[in-house]
């Protein structure tokens, strides 16, 4: 592998999963960026294949016995496309793919659905630049060590809850390990300082979720013309087809997109991630919409005909009573409220439903944001509370999807900001979205300045400030990837900078500006530990080829699990000016 991993992370040439998996094949010195620490193995082995196992042998009543696996390849071996291999999964990469190897080989094969400790049969699908391969799981040979029964019968097919059959303790242990390895390998932080037994250890224990089901306040289901029933991996195929889909033919469906398919929809009757009232809504829509007498048709993404596109269900809270309030949003290809009336009449019988909206989206794209929005029942917004503040949520506004854990996250961000509380400090809230972080801190600050690229989010942030009678917050729309020398002239030097970028992390222009402005403290909130580790490295160790000197010390990193059963990891990192 020739390219520097850090460049790959910046350019997005490889996705993060691939970059991470590549690390244990990477040269130990990057000539451009001079690694300070030798690379530790990127994947922490959680199971030695030679250890005895205590699981009963699996049974596959519906499948013929698997063919004997080929003899294990030796070290230095390189897989061939379509080869069937016996693999051991050693860890999880960032998007939840299993990091697998054949016994005695160091070659990495990424395999969707493989869980740490599992032995499996897989077919090699793609060799990526000769550096690693992607493999499709055929079947489990021996289950993983922390196996639990997935409560959702669709967990294996849906793609939303990739790790539901992994005990929650193991899920968060692997998330923690991913953060640690990325901080060492991408961030070049000394593993001894990250994890020492002293109280000043940088990497803190991962904060788990108290509620690991029913935690999502928003789910978006799609209507489709092709129902996805199940998928089955084929073993004995001499052609290039390794995957067969068993569809129910052109049967209408309402549910979640089958992983990797924009036109096939897995029929979902209930979802254990959404609230119980939201499940009631889904059940009523499911038992009603297929009645031929109603003349409701799903939108066909190939022919661009049909009416129903998406069903979005959001759950908030009445700020006075604390009881759930539900918004249902039908996204349709045109405005025909009379067609939705039978559904509306039934849904309104659910007491928690306070709002039914209709977003009309005439475009051929897959988005759920309509060009026009109509209120079919009740009010156009619902409310939610976060850190004692009230937020009004419309069908299309952004809001943290796990309210309870967002409260925990924001509390930790507040503590990490280390405000004196005397109202003397200026906070800069970069990538502020609808202003939630800045607003939760505003009461203890002199002034909050928020920056965000989406104009609607800025409008919501201003509304939220007003709703909570916060007068010391200014929200500005702007693209933080395109800042120039005028950036920073319109606000005083910040005492604390909060930066919460989305997955690609911060642009080099912003890194450069941060290194120039030298705020005493930065709280970096990240939903992608790979780009987070890269940006922390830049801020602490500098960027040699841009002639930028790092001037921050990494004080703490707190991983927070916001989304159990998914590969997502949030981190709160505190940097102090050296
Ligand atoms: C992870 S969200 C954080 C939102 C907010 N801090 C919160 O906690 O709800 C990242 C935000 O960055 C915004 N964003 C993405 N790229 C941006 C850019 N180039 N300039 C400014 N904002 C951007 C997105 O629209 C999104 O609102």
Give the pLDDT score at 257. 87
DSSP labels for 83-118? -EEEEEEEEE-TTS-EEEE-TT----EEETT--TT-
Residue 427: name the closest of 493, 512, 511, 517 by CA.
493
Q: What is the pLDDT of residue 72?
A: 58
The residue assigned the tokens 């800045």 is 438
Please give the number of the atom of ligand 1 that sits closest to the Cα of 437: 8
pLDDT digits (tens, 9 = 90+) for 461-495: 999 999 999 999 999 999 999 999 899 999 999 99
pTM: 0.83
Nearest atom in ligand 1 to 457's CA: 27
Please give the number of the atom of ligand 1 that sits closest to the Cα of 507.
19
Give dist(CA 314, CA 407) in Å, integer: 17
Q: What's the CA-to-centroid distance between 545 and ligand 1, angstroms?
A: 28
Percent of the chain at pLDDT exceeding 90: 65
pLDDT digits (tens, 9 = 90+) for 370-412: 889 999 999 999 999 999 999 999 998 889 999 999 999 999 9
pLDDT on residue 147: 86
Q: Are 387 and 403 in contact (CB under 8 A)?
A: no
Looking at residue 247, what is its pLDDT?
Answer: 45
Q: Are strands 570-577 and 521-526 parallel, antiparallel or unpaired?
A: antiparallel
To test the pocket of ligand 1, the residue of 410, 453, 571, 572 to mutate (highest count of ligand atoms within 8 Å of its CB) is 453
- pLDDT of residue 344 exceeding 60, the answer is yes
Query: So which residues are the catalytic ones?
Result: 527
Q: What is the Cα–Cα distance from 136 to 483, expressed in whole angstroms?
A: 43
Asked if 279 and 271 touch (Cβ cutoff 8 Å), the reply is yes
pLDDT tier, 74 (very low <50, low <70, confident <90, very high otherwise): low
Mean of pLDDT values over 18-29: 34
Indicate the pLDDT class of residue 59, thresholds 50, 70 and 90: very low
Ligand 1 pocket: which of 428, 501, 562 to mutate (most atoms within 8 A of CB): 501
Domains of the chain listed by start with CATH number: 74-145 (2.40.50.140), 218-229+249-391 (2.40.50.1070), 402-577 (3.40.50.150)
Give the DSSP letter string of 262-323: SSEEEE-S--TTB-HHHHHHHHHHHHHHT-GGG---B-BTTTTB-SEEEEEEEEEE-TTT--
Residue 44: is its pLDDT beyond 70?
no
Q: Which of 348, 526, 520 is closest to 426 using CA atoms? A: 520
Q: Which helix (H) or strand (E) holds 138?
A: strand 132-142
Residues annotated in the binding site for S-adenosyl-L-methionine, as ranges? 400, 431, 452, 500
């Amino acid at each position: 592998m020739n390219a520097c991993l850090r460049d790959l992370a910046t350019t997005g040439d490889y996705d993060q999963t691939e970059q991470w998996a590549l690390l244990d094949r990477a040269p130990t010195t990057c000539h451009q960026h001079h690694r300070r620490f030798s690379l530790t193995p990127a994947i922490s082995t959680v199971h030695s294949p030679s250890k005895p196992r205590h699981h009963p042998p699996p049974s596959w009543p519906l499948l013929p016995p698997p063919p004997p696996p080929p003899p294990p390849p030796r070290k230095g071996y390189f897989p061939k496309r379509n080869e069937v291999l016996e693999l051991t999964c050693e860890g999880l990469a960032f998007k939840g793919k299993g990091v697998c190897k054949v016994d005695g080989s160091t070659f990495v094969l990424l395999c969707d659905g493989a869980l740490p400790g599992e032995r499996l049969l897989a077919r090699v699908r793609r060799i990526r630049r000769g550096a690693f391969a992607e493999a499709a799981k055929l079947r489990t040979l021996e289950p993983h060590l922390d196996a639990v029964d997935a409560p959702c019968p669709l967990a294996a097919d849906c793609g939303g809850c990739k790790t539901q059959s992994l005990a929650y303790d193991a899920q968060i242990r692997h998330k923690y390990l991913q953060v640690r390895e990325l901080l060492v390998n991408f961030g070049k932080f000394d593993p001894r300082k990250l994890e020492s037994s002293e109280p000043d250890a940088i990497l803190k224990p991962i904060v788990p979720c108290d509620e690991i089901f029913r935690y999502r306040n928003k789910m978006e289901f799609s209507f489709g013309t092709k129902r996805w029933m199940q998928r089955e991996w084929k073993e004995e195929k001499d052609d290039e087809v390794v995957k067969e889909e068993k569809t129910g033919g052109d049967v209408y469906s309402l549910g979640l997109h089958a992983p990797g398919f924009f036109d096939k929809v897995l029929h979902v009757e209930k979802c254990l991630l959404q609230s119980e009232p939201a499940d009631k809504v889904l059940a009523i829509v499911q038992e009603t919409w297929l009645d031929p007498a109603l003349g409701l048709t799903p939108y066909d993404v190939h022919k661009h005909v049909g009416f129903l596109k998406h069903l979005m269900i959001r759950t908030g809270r009445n700020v006075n009573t604390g009881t759930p309030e539900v918004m249902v949003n039908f996204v349709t290809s045109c405005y025909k409220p009379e067609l939705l009336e039978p559904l509306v009449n039934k849904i309104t019988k659910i007491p928690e439903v306070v709002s039914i909206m209709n977003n009309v989206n005439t475009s051929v794209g897959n988005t759920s944001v309509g060009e026009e929005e109509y209120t079919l029942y009740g009010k156009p917004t619902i409310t939610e509370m976060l850190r004692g503040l009230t937020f009004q949520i419309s069908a299309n506004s952004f809001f943290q999807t796990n309210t309870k854990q967002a409260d925990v996250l924001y509390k930790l961000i507040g503590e990490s900001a280390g405000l004196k509380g005397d109202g003397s400090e200026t906070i800069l809230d970069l990538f502020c979205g609808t202003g939630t972080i800045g607003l939760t801190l505003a009461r203890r600050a002199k002034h909050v300045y928020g920056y965000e690229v989406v104009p609607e989010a800025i409008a919501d942030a201003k509304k939220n400030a007003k709703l909570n009678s916060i007068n010391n917050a200014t929200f500005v729309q702007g693209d933080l990837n395109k800042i120039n020398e005028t950036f920073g002239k319109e606000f005083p030097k910040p005492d604390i900078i909060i930066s919460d970028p989305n997955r690609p992390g911060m642009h080099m222009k912003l890194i450069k500006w941060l290194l120039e402005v030298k705020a005493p403290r930065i709280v970096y909130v990240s939903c992608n530990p790979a780009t987070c580790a890269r940006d922390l490295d830049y801020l602490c160790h500098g960027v040699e080829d841009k002639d930028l000197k790092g001037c921050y010390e990494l004080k703490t990193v707190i991983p927070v699990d916001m989304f159990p059963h998914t590969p997502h990891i949030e981190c709160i990192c505190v940097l102090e000016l050296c």
